[in-house]
Structure 1
Amino acid sequence: MAESKTNAMRLLDKSQIPYETLNYDHEDGQIHGTAVAEKIGRPQESVFKTLVAHQSGQISQICVFVIPVAEELDLKKAAKAAGAKKIEMLPVKDLLKWTGYIRGGCSPVGMKKLYPTFIDASAEGLKIIAVSAGRIGTQMELNPQQLAEQVKAVFFPLTKEA
Structure 2
Amino acid sequence: MSKTNAARILDRLKLPYQLLEYEVDPDDLAAESTAEKLGLPPEQVFKTLVVKGDRTGVCLAVIPGSAQLDLKALAVLAGNRKTDTVPLKDVQPLTGYIRGGVTALGTKKAYPVYVDESICTFETVAVSAGKRGLMLWLAPNDYLTATEGTLGALVKKTTP
Q: Is residue 106 of structure 1 aligned with residue 106 of structure 2?
A: no
CA distance in structure 1 between the partners assigned to 2:156 and 2:121 by the alignment: 19
Which residue of structure 1 aligns with residue 82 of structure 2? 86
What CA deviation, in whole Å up to 9, does each residue of 1:39-89 have, x standing for no partner?
011111110000010113x7x811110000010000000101111011010
Give 5+ residue unaligned stretches, structure 1.
none
Partner letter of residue 25 of structure 1?
E
Identify the match of residue 116 of structure 1 among 90, 112, 121: 112
Q: How does 1:62-73 map to 2 (within 5 A)?
A: 62-73=58-69
Q: Deviations over 1:88-134 (max 9, x none)?
A: 10111011111110100001111112211111010112111100100
What TM-score comes out, normalization by structure 1 length?
Answer: 0.93
Q: Deviations over 1:1-47 (max 9, x none)?
A: xx211110111111111111111111463221000000011111110
The 3-state SS of whatever aligns with 1:54 is strand
Partner SS for 2:155: coil
Q: What's 1:44 paired with?
A: 42
| Distance in 1 of aligned mates of 2:44 and 2:30 | 15
Q: List 4+ stretches of structure 1 deviating above 4 A.
A: none
The number of equivalent residue pairs is 158
Is structure 2 residue 132 aligned with structure 1 residue 145?
Answer: no
The percent identity for this pair of structures is 40
Structure 2: 5+ residue runs without aligned partners? none
Alpha-carbon separation, structure 2, partners of 1:141 and 1:127: 10
**Aligned-pair Cα RMSD in Å:** 1.3
**Alpha carbons of structure 1 residues 85 and 28: separation in structure 2 relative to 1, 3 Å:** closer
Counterpart Cα distance in 2 of 1:29 and 1:6: 23
Match of 2:124 among 109, 128, 150: 128
| SS of equivalent to 1:11 | helix
